[in-house]
């Protein structure tokens, strides 16, 4: 365990430096308001999930977590961590259809409403904003985002939001049926793990539940339409849970499992091997305006990025053995052409355990609309992509090894 932690710490060092630079840029930048800088509800779903920065063994993509953020992938097992890129089959949206950019957890909500709270008082004191003859200056958005992370407003659980008790219970639930269409059926792997995307077309049903704040649980059930093209490692379902706030400058922490989970396991195998999942810690921030402006077609939009580190306690190798602590770090950026058309690039670096199907980078593009009762159509590639100077394994890492994900969401 200590050795795994040490590897992850060494791997995280350059990522932390990058995060510090992004944060410093945010501290210096002038921003009209916190609400204006918020991520579009599509960061956690910026693509169908797949490898999340260092997620489980690559065995399936994810939901464009609210951010044509899909969320996030494997170690990967998804592109940038589970929270960042949801399960490719489970696009997530908030219960209000994603139209809640001005709210961001207890602290940000208080700030946007001008309310006084211990957190906002502390921020004002820290920045020396209070002035004797005028209103206090707004708190720094970077500090506000960090302070608001992992807020747990348990009191909200006892607030009646609707007339019906059933409606109250369903509040925060998003249902997302989908169709996954691989461009080809060739996949690499061994008996227990391999390429994340199946060679078979799939019908999927994603359930995303956010009972309080930004704490969530998610499961995606997968039905294979071409039984003969289903690989031995293609599971019946994937799942994830944790904390993921789509607002900028906030942290996320999530566990995701895209391994060979089965409702009816073979022999003595468990329904799910928890140690094959991955734990991902990430921090998100928009690219500083001066850097993003020359690349943006619509200057009202932002290029949202996320840095993360991930670790999986146990993983299967191409040789058929089992090793400990697959670790990776990632940088994922989402470029918006318009409010719904996007392109996403996620770059990964492995500290230990990269397999032929684990990508150096993942990418996706398409039309993502995370509002309730809307469709998203996305091409995503989570196969064993390699940088030009590295050798690509056969039957993986090519454009045709990706797939098209069509999803519809309904938020209660």
Q: Does the structure show a pLDDT above 60 at 44? A: no
Average confidence score pLDDT of the chain:
76
Query: Whole-angstrom distance between the N-terminal and C-terminal Cα of the chain?
Result: 41
Higher pLDDT, 75 or 409: 409
Higher pLDDT, 116 or 176: 176
- Inter-residue contact 71 to 62 (CB < 8 Å): yes
* pLDDT on residue 251: 98
Bridge partners, 224 (sequence order): 202
* pLDDT on residue 11: 54
Tell me the C-alpha to C-alpha distance, in Å, between residue 356 and each of 193, 334, 379: 11, 25, 21
Least trusted range by pLDDT, from 13-17, 220-224, 404-408? 13-17
User: How many structural domains is the chain composed of?
Assistant: 1
Across residues 214-226, what is the average pLDDT?
97
- Inter-residue contact 326 to 315 (CB < 8 Å): yes
Range list of H helices, 29-164: 105-113, 118-127, 141-148
pLDDT in tens, 327-336: 999 999 999 9
Q: Which domain holds residue 72?
A: 2-128+137-411
Write 128-136 long-range contacts (CB < 8 A, 24+). none
Structure confidence at residue 108 as a pLDDT band (50, 70, 90): very low
pLDDT in tens, 255-290: 999 999 999 998 888 999 999 999 999 999 999 999
Region for 283 from its dihedrals, namely left if φ exceeds 0, alpha if ψ lies in -120 to 50, beta otherwise: beta
Q: Does the structure show a pLDDT above 90 at 78? A: no
Please tell me the distance from the alpha carbon of residue 115 to that of residue 7, in angstroms, as a whole number: 43
pLDDT in tens, 115-164: 343 444 444 444 454 455 567 778 899 999 999 999 999 888 888 888 88
Least trusted range by pLDDT, from 48-52, 79-83, 121-125, 358-362? 79-83
Structure confidence at residue 3 as a pLDDT band (50, 70, 90): low
Rounded to the nearest 5 percent, the helix, strand and coil shares of the chain are 20, 30, 50
Structural tokens at position 195? 């390429």
pLDDT in tens, 339-372: 999 999 999 999 999 999 999 999 999 999 989 9
Q: Does the structure show a pLDDT above 50 at 190? A: yes
Percent of the chain's residues with pLDDT above 90: 55
- Compute the residue count for the chain: 412
pTM of model > 0.85: no
- Inter-residue contact 371 to 176 (CB < 8 Å): no
Across residues 370-396, what is the average pLDDT?
93
Structure confidence at residue 36 as a pLDDT band (50, 70, 90): very low
């Amino acid at each position: 365990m200590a050795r795994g932690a040490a590897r992850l710490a060494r791997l995280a060092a350059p990522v932390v430096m990058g995060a510090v630079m992004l944060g410093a840029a945010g501290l210096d930048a002038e921003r009209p308001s916190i609400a204006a800088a918020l991520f579009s509800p599509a960061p956690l779903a910026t693509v169908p999930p797949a490898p999340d920065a260092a997620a489980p063994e690559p065995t399936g993509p994810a939901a464009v977590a609210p951010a044509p953020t899909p969320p996030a992938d494997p170690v990967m097992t998804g592109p940038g961590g589970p929270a960042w890129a949801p399960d490719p089959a489970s696009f997530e949206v908030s219960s209000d259809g994603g139209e809640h950019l001005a709210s961001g957890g207890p602290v940000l909500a208080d700030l946007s409403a001008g309310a006084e709270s211990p957190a906002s008082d502390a921020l004002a004191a820290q920045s020396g904003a209070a002035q004797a003859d005028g209103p206090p200056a707004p708190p720094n958005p970077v500090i506000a985002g960090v302070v608001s992370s992992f807020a747990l407003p348990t009191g909200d659980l006892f607030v009646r939001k609707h007339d019906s008790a059933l409606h109250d219970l369903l509040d925060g639930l998003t249902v997302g049926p989908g169709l996954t269409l691989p461009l080809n059926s060739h996949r690499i792997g061994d008996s227990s793990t391999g390429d994340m995307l199946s060679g078979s077309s799939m019908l999927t049903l994603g359930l995303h539940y956010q009972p309080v704040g930004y704490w969530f649980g998610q499961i995606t059930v997968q039905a294979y339409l071409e039984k003969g093209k289903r690989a031995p490692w293609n599971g019946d379902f994937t799942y994830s849970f944790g904390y993921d706030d789509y607002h900028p400058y906030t942290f996320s922490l999530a566990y995701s499992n895209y391994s060979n989970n089965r409702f009816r396991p073979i022999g003595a195998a468990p329904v799910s091997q928890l140690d094959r999942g991955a734990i991902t810690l990430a921090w998100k921030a928009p690219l500083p305006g001066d850097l993003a402006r020359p690349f943006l077609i619509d200057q009202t939009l932002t290029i949202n990025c996320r840095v993360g580190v991930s670790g999986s306690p146990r993983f299967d190798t191409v040789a058929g053995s089992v090793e400990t602590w697959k670790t990776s770090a990632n940088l994922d950026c989402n470029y918006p052409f318009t409010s719904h058309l996007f392109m996403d690039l996620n770059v990964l670096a492995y500290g230990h355990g990269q397999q032929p199907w684990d990508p150096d980078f993942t990418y996706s593009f398409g039309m993502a609309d995370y509002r309730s009762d809307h469709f998203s159509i996305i091409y995503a590639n989570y196969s064993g992509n390699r940088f030009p100077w590295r050798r690509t394994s056969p039957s993986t890492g090519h454009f045709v090894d990706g797939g098209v994900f069509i999803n519809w969401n309904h938020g209660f």
